[in-house]
């Protein structure tokens, strides 16, 4: 909406009728739209637009009302907190209104400095006067809550509602473990604690996983949630507290409402920071990041420090909050309309924005994964201009039902790849086409396959696919595979990007003159690479099989294949039934091997590598002698006294065990050394036997051991 039309005098009616009429119509439309979005956000818990879009429209309405004061109405969203009481809940009148605080939309350091300048002006502080002390807090993305205690007992919990009247949600709030039902400390006879109910990110992810499982099992009426705030609000507003109890919620306290009957006749604190410490002493959680700072410099530094931590926090925030610390100064500064003068919420760049989908492409990653990517109309979100957003995989693209031409909410948090959160269905065009995942690699034309129980399609082109070349070279040259010393990522990038190599055999055709032309490649370094390539020609069959990068074929499986078949030709030509005879090889691995060698270009690459001089010892298939740990799955964690991780792994595999990276109910043993972490904790929780190094050596000797 263009506000340049409204430049002129303070009194709108003094301008031309057409300008006033236009402003009146635009203000009316903005009020309707903001009420609609607020209803969806606060009451239905189903936000239709990102917070940044609501803030923009809100600011536009404020600008119009400032230019045309006659258009300011009592029901304007700028004159109230927002929200409504659902008819299913009892109404609660707040004895002390739950007002919102002003939002500073300048996301730069200047936003913090501007707040300090306003406070100093309101307090008539001259230049050179002492800096104002502030409390800096996090701005949580949750649901504001008022907890009323009488004689130390929680008797009522109410939402903010419209600021004056809220909803009684006591039955659900009682399910939150962080909220004390009874205060054991010496507290006032009536105490209202204000704070934020929220959902941690890990709890949110677990909740959505459970929801997806229910949906896959055919449960009706179930859905996934857009974001943690939406999930938290939905849980708080459940009529059945049993449902609310299944949705993990958390709470942070940040202030007080109605208070009566201080034991000493007056509050035991003079500052907001001391108030927070008192709340903490009474048993309420207070965010650890909260701190006292001095002046504009302190606010700026806090804003910058939290910005660095934002994406690592276990919960969502969209900014920080500054409050004058001295309660006497707070009282002196007072309120203006709907917000206190002594506080402000300083936002960070929006992590969600609206834009449109111009196309949906499919990209092929370095490991062959096919990812649908929405090509977007450029939009500034999370501090950068975004033109692409991932749709993750076919299932996610279908679940979100993203189509070309759709208006979508895009999210970008820190360095996380931008993603499409949801579609604004009200804006969908009737001819929008449903996205269909291709089953052919768009880079090399090889078949794109999806394994059972996996969400991703992967190109089967492997060594032939241009998108996978760099990863194929790195994997082939690594220490546990064929091993080409000195052939690292930077050198491979140069070789592939310059077109010098395109397939693995090209490595063995490199000459000195070609290498010395590369950046930062002296003659001595080039000679070292050529020497390493020559040395790598003498390898072993397990290393070569592993180096081919066949999906699902790790080191241990490569060793089993080499031991079972004895020769590469026997392995390459094995049938499904023959592959399944190999120890610990199931249908997924067997099908992956068949698919790999079904590609003629893979057969050609193997033949060319042999022609380049790669060699290994071959022989008759090994006699199938039972091994003591066949069928056992073992996990290593921590540091063992005398054995390295590789040594312990090699010994276990030689004894027939499978060494896994994660603990499950199928794990036979966990071998734990010093500084063992979550794997040991999970093993103990699941009742998996735990061994130390002595127990491992005893197990390898064939002695029975039930663990410690």
76 vs 32: CA distance, rounded Å: 9
366 — alpha (psi -120 to 50), left (phi > 0) or beta?
alpha
**Angle between helical axes of 109-122 and 295-309 (0-180°, round to 10):** 150
User: Rounded to 5 degrees, what are φ and ψ at 193?
Assistant: -100, 125
Pairing of strands 407-411, 419-423: antiparallel
Contact 364, 370 (CB under 8 A): yes
The dihedral sign for the CA sequence 237, 240, 243, 245: positive
Rg (CA), the chain: 32
The CA-CA-CA angle for residues 232, 236, 237, to 5°, reads: 120
The dihedral sign for the CA sequence 401, 405, 410, 415: positive
Contact 228, 199 (CB under 8 A): yes
276 vs 296: CA distance, rounded Å: 22
Residue with tokens 């300083």: 346
Contact 571, 565 (CB under 8 A): yes
DSSP state of 311: G
Cα of first residue to Cα of last residue in the chain, in angstroms, is 70
Nearest to 437, CA basis, from 356, 387, 363, 358: 363
The dihedral sign for the CA sequence 583, 588, 590, 596: negative
Give the 3-state secondary structure of residue 354.
strand
**Structure-token pair, residue 480:** 């546990």
13 vs 75: CA distance, rounded Å: 21
Strands (E), 231-315: 250-260, 291-294
Determine which one of 13, 59, 121, 139 is catalytic. 139
**Angle between helical axes of 17-38 and 51-67 (0-180°, round to 10):** 150
**Angle between helical axes of 587-598 and 600-611 (0-180°, round to 10):** 70
**Structure-token pair, residue 617:** 């010892």
The reply to whether 679 belongs to the active site is no
User: Rounded to 5 degrees, what are φ and ψ at 619?
Assistant: -165, -165
Pairing of strands 690-691, 669-672: parallel
Nearest to 399, CA basis, from 379, 372, 377: 372
Pairing of strands 133-140, 669-672: unpaired
564 vs 604: CA distance, rounded Å: 24
Spell out the SS3 assignment of 176-244: CCCCCCECCCCCCCEEEEEEEEECCHHHHHHHHHHHHHHHHCCCCCCCCCCCHHHHHHHHHCCCCHHHH
Q: Which residues pair with 157 in a beta bridge?
A: 147
Contact 100, 248 (CB under 8 A): no
Nearest to 34, CA basis, from 58, 70, 63: 58
Residue with tokens 């004159």: 79
Q: Which strands make up the sheet holding 250-260, listed edge to edge?
A: 153-159, 143-150, 190-198, 250-260
Give the 3-state secondary structure of residue 94.
coil
Q: Which residues are catalytic?
A: 139
């Amino acid at each position: 909406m263009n506000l340049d039309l409204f430049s002129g005098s303070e009194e709108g009616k003094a301008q031309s009728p057409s300008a006033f009429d236009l402003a009146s119509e635009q203000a009316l439309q903005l009020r309707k739209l903001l009420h609609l979005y607020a209803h969806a956000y606060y009451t239905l818990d189903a936000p239709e637009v990102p917070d940044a879009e609501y803030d923009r429209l809100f600011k536009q309405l404020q600008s119009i009302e400032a230019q045309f004061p006659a258009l300011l109405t009592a029901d304007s969203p700028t004159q109230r907190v927002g929200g409504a009481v659902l008819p299913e809940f009892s109404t609660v009148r707040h004895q002390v209104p739950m007002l919102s605080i002003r939002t500073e939309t300048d996301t730069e350091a200047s936003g913090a400095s501007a707040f300090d300048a306003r406070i100093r002006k309101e307090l008539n502080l001259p230049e050179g006067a002492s800096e104002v002390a502030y409390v800096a807090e996090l701005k949580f993305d949750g649901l504001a809550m008022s907890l009323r205690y009488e004689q130390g007992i929680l008797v009522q919990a109410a939402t903010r509602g419209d600021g004056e009247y809220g909803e009684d949600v006591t039955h659900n709030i009682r399910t939150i473990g962080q909220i004390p039902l009874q205060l054991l400390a010496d507290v006032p006879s009536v105490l209202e604690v204000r704070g934020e109910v929220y959902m941690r990110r890990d709890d949110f992810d677990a909740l959505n996983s459970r929801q997806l499982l229910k949906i896959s099992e055919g449960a009706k009426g179930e859905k996934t949630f857009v974001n943690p705030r939406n999930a938290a609000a939905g849980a708080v507003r459940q009529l059945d507290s049993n449902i609310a109890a299944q949705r993990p919620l958390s709470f942070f306290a940040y202030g007080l409402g109605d208070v009566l009957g201080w034991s000493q006749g007056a509050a035991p604190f003079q500052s907001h920071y001391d108030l927070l410490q008192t709340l903490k002493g009474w048993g309420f959680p207070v965010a650890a990041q909260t701190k006292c700072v001095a002046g504009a410099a302190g606010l700026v530094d806090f804003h910058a420090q939290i910005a660095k931590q934002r994406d690592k926090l276990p919960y969502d925030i969209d900014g920080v909050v500054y409050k004058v610390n001295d309660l006497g100064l707070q009282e002196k500064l007072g309120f203006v309309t709907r917000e206190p003068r002594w506080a402000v919420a300083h936002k960070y760049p929006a992590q969600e924005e609206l834009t449109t989908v111009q196309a949906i492409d499919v990209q092929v990653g370095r490991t062959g994964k096919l990812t649908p990517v929405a090509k977007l109309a450029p939009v500034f979100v999370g501090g950068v201009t975004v033109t692409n957003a991932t749709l993750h995989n076919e299932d996610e693209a279908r679940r979100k039902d993203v189509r070309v031409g759709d208006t979508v909410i895009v999210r970008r948090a820190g360095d996380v790849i931008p993603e499409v959160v949801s579609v604004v269905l009200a804006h969908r065009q009737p001819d929008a086409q449903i996205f269909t995942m291709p089953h052919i690699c768009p880079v090399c034309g090889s078949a794109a396959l999806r394994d059972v129980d996996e969400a991703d399609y992967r190109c089967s082109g492997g060594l032939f696919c241009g998108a996978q070349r760099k990863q194929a070279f790195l994997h082939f040259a690594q220490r546990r595979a064929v091993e080409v010393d000195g052939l690292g990522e930077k050198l491979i990038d140069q070789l592939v990007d310059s077109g010098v190599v395109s397939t693995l055999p090209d490595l063995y055709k490199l000459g000195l003159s070609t290498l010395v032309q590369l950046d930062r490649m002296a003659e001595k370094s080039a000679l070292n690479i050529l020497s390493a390539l020559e040395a790598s020609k003498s390898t072993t069959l397990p290393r070569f099989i592993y180096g081919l990068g066949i999906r699902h074929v790790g080191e241990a499986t490569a060793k089993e294949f080499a031991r079972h078949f004895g020769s590469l030709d026997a392995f390459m030509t094995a049938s499904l039934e023959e592959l399944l005879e190999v120890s610990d090889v199931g249908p997924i691995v067997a099908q992956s091997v068949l698919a790999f060698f079904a590609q003629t270009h893979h057969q050609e690459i193997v033949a060319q590598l042999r022609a380049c001089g790669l060699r290994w010892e071959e022989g008759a298939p090994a006699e199938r002698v039972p091994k003591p740990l066949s069928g056992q799955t073992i996990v290593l964690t921590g540091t063992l006294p005398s054995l390295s991780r590789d040594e312990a792994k090699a010994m276990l595999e030689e004894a027939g065990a499978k060494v896994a990276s994660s603990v499950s109910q199928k794990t036979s043993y966990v071998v734990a050394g010093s500084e063992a972490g979550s794997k040991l904790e999970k093993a103990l929780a699941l009742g998996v036997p735990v061994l130390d190094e002595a127990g491992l050596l005893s197990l390898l000797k064939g002695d029975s051991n039930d663990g410690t």
